[in-house]
Amino acid sequence: MISVDRLTFAYPDQPPIFRDFTWKSAVCAAWAVIGPSGCGKSTLLYLLAGLRQPAGGQIFVDGQPVPRPRASTGLVLQDYGLLPWATVWDNVALVMRMGCFYRDKRTEGDAPRPYPRSDITSAQIEHWLRRLGIFDLKDKYPSQISGGQRQRTAIARSLLQQPNLLLMDEPFSSLDALTREDLQRLTVELRQETGVTTVIVTHNIEEAVYLGQCILVLGRAPNTEARVIENSGAGCPRFRSQPAYAQKCSEVRDALAVA
Amino acid sequence: MRRRDVFLATMILLLAWQLLAWLLRMEVLPGPAAVGQALAREIPRGLGRHFLVSGWRVVASIAVATLLAVPAGLILGQSARLNRIVSPIVYILHPIPKIVFLPILLLFLGIGDTSKIFMIFLILFFPILVVVRDQAGALRPELIYSVRSLGAGRRALFRFVYLPATVPAALTALRVSIGTAVAVLFFAESFATTSGLGYYIIVESWGRLAYPEMYAGVVAMSALGLLLYIVVDRFERRMAPWMFLHET
């Protein structure tokens, strides 16, 4: 799904964050990326999303380079990225409206169409709002709902396009503990229902272990190699109560200590 | 602005005016009753027409200024490079009191409506441009990222993010500029024309020392400004209802 080959990236006038960094995501369907602040976790996500371009090397998603964001990659951010002037319904329906906006756009070559799908219907919007438990809030504005409900809205909007890759940048870090666990469980369920590959960036060890079947540990910049911890227990909603969970948390903690 | 509040404010101002008129007892400041009579008398005799002419000039200026300044502000707000080039030009031109160009405008655009509309347009254009540009430039990058990640290109961002995001800012700029626009209109209409409230106040009433009629013109001018504020308020509630969620 994801292939990063000899990636080099630096922000202007800053030392490089990635230098000749190679990472193959193989068949893993649920990735967690963890590392200390400033290690480049979010930058890696933005590179995968096509929002930033590497200075060197190549990134492939689904076998294709990502010179711009692709509609089949969903992105969920910590601060939700919702339009404050639009209701919950309109925020999710934005994808449908943009699909209509770009209906006549064609793409050259064999690259997948980067624009939003033009066949999304109101019934699909309703389906996702109901699945995420926010249908009753459809007429509310983001400022009128809780953080957890905002994040559910953002997830509904991302899933509406039936993405095959869902990137999440510390999506639950500003939520309270109960809401966070609730949404982590929902993420596991949604992945199983839709078959979407998820990459979740987090600074929380427990979250990384609960959600990531493979955990990519980044160290202090520049990152030159991908250190991956296998975590086959993740993906089970009750993983948290198993002994393997605590063991894996400890393993990730040790890996971070030497990162 | 609620109707009840406007009524209350009008009553307070009328009372203060009446007290002042009683205190001064001068022909130059007639009381509200005398001015009210003059207003009722003058509206059918030409004041109504002058009001409509002035109203048309301000509304036309606002429309042209909004139609040109909002897209220009949006473009500058989106493009840091273009903004770097254009900003100094804006900051050099913005502080110039545009009214100094009135004689030149009259020379090139004539004494009709066009010169007045262009004059007010010049005054409204810059504040709207600057406010819309700043608002568009201050949008959180996360918002832009998340919409871009849905597949939005530049045009869709413009249509679905930048444009709705700047509506409240554009209307605030408009509200701030209405007072200036009406004041400048008065000045622009005070010579080289035969219509408009400025002409009515300066030439038709003040010129012949008809003070109640002159104040009737002033009241009409205030009513014109108030009407414009009410229209902008209504428009804002319609276009940006999310701004008023916490009002009781």
Cβ-Cβ contacts under 8 Å for B47 (sequence gap 6 or more): B39, B200, B216, B217, B220
Domain count, chain B: 1
Inter-chain CB pairs, A–B, below 8 Å: 84
Cα→Cα distances A2→A31, A64, B77, B116, Å? 10, 9, 35, 63
Flag whether pLDDT at B185 surpasses 80.
Answer: yes
The domain in which residue A73 lies consists of 2-240
Structure tokens belonging to residue B174: 């408009």
Amino acid letter, B1: M
Flag whether pLDDT at A111 surpasses 70.
Answer: no
Q: Cβ–Cβ of B145/A49 closer than 8 Å? A: yes
Does residue A24 lie within any of the structural domains?
A: yes
Q: How far is B244 from chain A (nearest CA, A)?
A: 11
Cβ-Cβ contacts under 8 Å for B176 (sequence gap 6 or more): B127
- The position carrying tokens 């414009």 is B228
The domain that holds A157 is classified in CATH as 3.40.50.300
pTM of the full structure: 0.81
Chain B residues touching A75 at Cβ < 8 A: 145-146, 149-150
List, for residues B203-220, the tens digit of each pLDDT value: 888 888 888 899 999 999
In this complex, the residue of B146, B159, B242 whose CB is nearest that of residue A81 is B146
Does residue A247 lie within any of the structural domains?
A: no
Q: Cβ–Cβ of A81/B240 closer than 8 Å? A: no
Q: Cβ–Cβ of B151/A74 closer than 8 Å? A: no
Pairwise pLDDT comparison (A40 vs B2), residue with the higher score: A40
Confidence grade of residue A48 (pLDDT, cut at 50, 70, 90): very high
A162 has a chain B CB within 8 A of its CB:
no
What are A214's strand-pairing partners? A31, A230
How far is it, in rounded angstroms, from Cα A1 to Cα A25? 6
Pairwise pLDDT comparison (A1 vs A20), residue with the higher score: A20
In this complex, the residue of B145, B156, B242 whose CB is nearest that of residue A75 is B145
Q: Are A20 and A5 in contact (CB under 8 A)?
A: no
Flag whether pLDDT at A200 surpasses 90.
Answer: yes
Does residue B156 lie within any of the structural domains?
A: yes
Domain count, chain A: 1
List, for residues B72-101, the tens digit of each pLDDT value: 998 898 888 899 999 999 899 888 888 888
Cβ-Cβ contacts under 8 Å for A58 (sequence gap 6 or more): A3, A4, A5, A6, A7, A65
The domain that holds B72 is classified in CATH as 1.10.3720.10
Cα B9–Cα B10–Cα B16 angle in degrees, nearest 5: 90
In this complex, the residue of A81, A82, A98 whose CB is nearest that of residue B145 is A81
List, for residues A59-75, the tens digit of each pLDDT value: 988 888 888 888 889 99
Does residue B22 lie within any of the structural domains?
A: no
Task: Considering only CA atoms, give the Rg of chain A.
Answer: 18
Q: What is the pLDDT of residue A258?
A: 76
Enclosing H/E stretch for A76: strand A73-77
Q: Are B129 and B69 in contact (CB under 8 A)?
A: yes
List, for residues B137-151, the tens digit of each pLDDT value: 888 888 999 999 888
Chain Cα centroid distance, residue A206 = 17
Does residue B4 lie within any of the structural domains?
A: no
How far is it, in rounded angstroms, from Cα B174 to Cα A106? 40
Flag whether pLDDT at A253 surpasses 60.
Answer: yes
In this complex, the residue of A79, A116, A143 whose CB is nearest that of residue B150 is A116
Nearest to B2 by CA among B243, B238, B239, B233: B233
Q: Are A211 and A6 in contact (CB under 8 A)?
A: no
Does residue B246 lie within any of the structural domains?
A: no
Lowest mean pLDDT across B122-131, B152-161, B182-191:
B182-191
Does residue B146 lie within any of the structural domains?
A: yes
How far is it, in rounded angstroms, from Cα B128 to Cα A54? 38
Does residue B111 lie within any of the structural domains?
A: yes
Q: What is the pLDDT of residue A14?
A: 86
Q: What is the pLDDT of residue A34?
A: 92
The domain in which residue B143 lies consists of 32-238
A103 has a chain B CB within 8 A of its CB:
no
Transcribe B163-210 into DSSP letters.
HHHHHHHHHHHHHHHHHHHHHHHHHHTTSS-S-SHHHIIIIIIGGGT-
- Closest Cα in chain B to A70: B151
Q: Cβ–Cβ of A75/B160 closer than 8 Å? A: no
In this complex, the residue of A79, A84, A102 whose CB is nearest that of residue B156 is A102
Cα→Cα distances A135→A15, A132, A153, Å? 46, 8, 10
A112 has a chain B CB within 8 A of its CB:
no
- The DSSP output letter for A118 is S
Chain A residues touching B155 at Cβ < 8 A: 101
Please report, rounded to a whole number, the percentage of residues in chain B having pLDDT higher than 70: 99
* Mean pLDDT on B14-19: 94
Does residue A259 lie within any of the structural domains?
A: no
Cβ-Cβ contacts under 8 Å for A192 (sequence gap 6 or more): A235
Among chain B, residues having any CB pair with chain A shorter than 8 Å are 140, 142-143, 145-153, 155-156, 159-161, 164-165, 167, 240, 242, 245
Does the model's ipTM exceed the 0.90 cut? Answer: no
| Helix runs in chain A, H state only | 41-49, 88-101, 122-131, 147-159, 177-194, 205-211, 243-257
Cβ-Cβ contacts under 8 Å for A91 (sequence gap 6 or more): A82, A83, A142, A153, A154, A157
How far is it, in rounded angstroms, from Cα A97 to Cα A104? 13
Q: B137 phi and psi, to 5 degrees?
A: -75, -20
Q: Are B216 and B39 in contact (CB under 8 A)?
A: yes
Does residue A45 lie within any of the structural domains?
A: yes
* Mean pLDDT on A174-187: 88
What is the dihedral angle through the alpha carbons of B128, B129, B132, B135, rounded to the nearest 10 degrees?
-120
Confidence grade of residue B247 (pLDDT, cut at 50, 70, 90): low
Pairwise pLDDT comparison (B40 vs B205), residue with the higher score: B40
- Closest Cα in chain A to B162: A83
Structure tokens belonging to residue A237: 């909603």
Lowest mean pLDDT across A40-44, A123-127, A230-234, B126-130:
A230-234
Q: What is the pLDDT of residue B242?
A: 83
Cα→Cα distances A240→A72, A75, A144, A246, Å? 31, 26, 32, 8
Q: What is the pLDDT of residue A46?
A: 93
Q: Which of A43, A45, A51, A144 to mutate to test the interface with B (most CBs of B within 10 A)?
A: A51
- The position carrying tokens 């992945």 is A191
Q: What is the pLDDT of residue B12?
A: 95
In this complex, the residue of A84, A115, A143 whose CB is nearest that of residue B151 is A115
